[in-house]
Amino acid sequence: MTETEHDSGEQSSTTRTFMVVTIAAALVAWDIGFDLGAFETVSYRRVFTVFVVSTVVLLTTFVRNDETLATSPFSRVILGLPLAYLFADMTFLTVSQSVVDALNLAIIATFPWTLYVIARLVDRDYFSLPRREQIIAVVAVLLIGLAGLYVGNGHDRFLSCDDFARSGDFVPDDCTP
């Protein structure tokens, strides 16, 4: 392999790593932002997604002895918050909606840490990207999340009530036909 071919393959791998990590995280950020904007809450589906992913990663920190895992007590507490929330929700009969909403947002707030741990496991190449590209990926994800919030908040400019209904989604209270 010539030096040019090697550089081209390395560039292609770097581009692929940047794209895969950024797209995967941005899809989650968009969904959460849109839900917050359109419904002023995060969908139970998103909360359960965070719960499942966090719980699997938490269990993996106990089962696997892998140096790439974040196995510190801090990391395990963050990863365990969704599990603790679900357990608490199942055992306490009365919880106000504002407490539930606050806990849902706390769970969503822990998701970046979970994504970080997953990125370390799944695509170690991301952390070998130049620092500038890592920062650009994070900023892109944040901006896409904010765009989702903006579009969700102004859903009437982008979607009709029928769009929500046909997709089987909840129609926002402030939806106008």
Q: Read off the pLDDT of residues 114-168 as tens digits, 9 standing for 90 and up.
A: 777 777 766 667 778 888 988 898 899 889 989 999 999 998 888 888 888 888 8
Q: What is the pLDDT of residue 92?
A: 63
Higher pLDDT, residue 12 or 170: 170
* Contacts of residue 69, Cβ cutoff 8 Å, sequence gap at least 6: 60, 61, 117, 120, 121
pTM above 0.75, yes or no: no
Contact between residue 83 and residue 107 where contact means Cβ atoms under 8 Å apart? no
Contact between residue 34 and residue 148 where contact means Cβ atoms under 8 Å apart? yes
For the chain, which residues make up each domain, given as ranges?
Answer: 10-166
Residue 2 — pLDDT band, cuts 50, 70, 90? Answer: very low
**Mean predicted confidence (pLDDT) in 90-109:** 70
Query: DSSP letters along 39-57, please?
Result: HSS--HHHHHHHHHHHHHH
